[in-house]
C-alpha cells in the first residue's frame, strides 16, 4: 500500500503519476482524504497534568475524572466527527428506546471506557481540552497554562 501526503504541487504530480502507472488489472482502490494531525505528545502530557490538577483540587480520583470527561465531552466530539462511531452510538440509543435500559447503560459505559484520546486528532483534542478548561475554570480550578508547556491547543 502506498500513502502519499500532498503538501506541494510536486507531490500532487507524483501522486498522479502513480495513478497513471497503475495497471487496470488487478483492481486498485485509491482513497483520498484530508490529513488530520494526530494527537501530539505535548497535548497528551498537558491533558493528564490537567486531570491531576483538577483531581487534586476536588479530592477526586483522576482516572474517574478521565472517564467523566470522556463521557461528557469526548463522546460527543466522536459522534459528530465519526460516522461509524455515531451509528454505533445511535444503536445504543435505540436499545435504550426499546426498553433495554440496563443493557444500553452497560453498553454506553463500555464505549466510554474504550474510547481513547489517542483516537483524536490535534483539532479534536484541542476542542476536548477547551471544554475541560472551561469547566475547571468555572469551578475555581487554576490549570497550568498551555504556554508553560509549549502546547498549541489549536488557537
**What would the pLDDT profile of 11-63 be if each residue is shown by its tens digit?**
888 888 888 888 888 888 888 777 677 778 888 889 999 999 999 999 999 99
Residue 11 is predicted with a pLDDT of 82
* 69-123 pLDDT per residue, tens: 999 999 999 999 999 999 999 999 999 999 999 999 999 999 999 999 999 998 9
Residue 148 confidence class, pLDDT cut points 50, 70, 90: low
d(CA 113, CA 71): 9
Residue 27: count other Cβ atoms within 10 Å of its Cβ.
7
Residue 155 is predicted with a pLDDT of 45
Rg (CA), the chain: 21
d(CA 113, CA 115): 6
d(CA 96, CA 90): 10
Residue 153 is predicted with a pLDDT of 54
Residue 20 is predicted with a pLDDT of 86
Average predicted confidence (pLDDT) for the chain: 88
Amino acid at each position: 500500500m502506498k500513502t502519499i501526503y500532498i503538501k506541494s504541487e510536486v507531490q500532487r504530480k507524483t501522486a498522479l503519476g502513480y495513478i497513471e502507472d497503475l495497471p487496470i488489472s488487478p483492481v486498485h482502490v485509491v482513497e483520498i482524504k484530508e490529513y488530520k494531525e494526530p494527537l501530539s505528545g505535548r497535548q497528551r502530557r498537558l491533558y493528564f497534568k490537567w486531570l491531576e490538577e483538577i483531581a487534586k483540587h476536588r479530592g477526586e480520583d483522576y482516572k474517574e475524572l478521565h472517564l467523566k470527561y470522556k463521557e461528557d465531552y469526548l463522546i460527543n466530539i466522536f459522534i459528530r466527527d465519526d460516522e461509524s462511531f455515531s451509528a454505533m452510538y445511535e444503536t445504543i440509543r435505540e436499545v435504550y428506546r426499546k426498553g433495554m435500559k440496563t443493557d444500553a447503560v452497560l453498553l454506553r459505559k463500555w464505549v466510554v471506557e474504550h474510547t481513547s484520546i489517542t483516537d483524536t486528532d490535534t483539532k479534536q483534542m484541542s476542542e476536548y481540552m477547551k471544554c475541560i478548561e472551561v469547566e475547571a475554570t468555572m469551578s475555581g480550578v487554576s490549570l497550568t497554562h498551555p504556554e508553560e508547556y509549549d502546547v498549541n491547543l489549536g488557537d
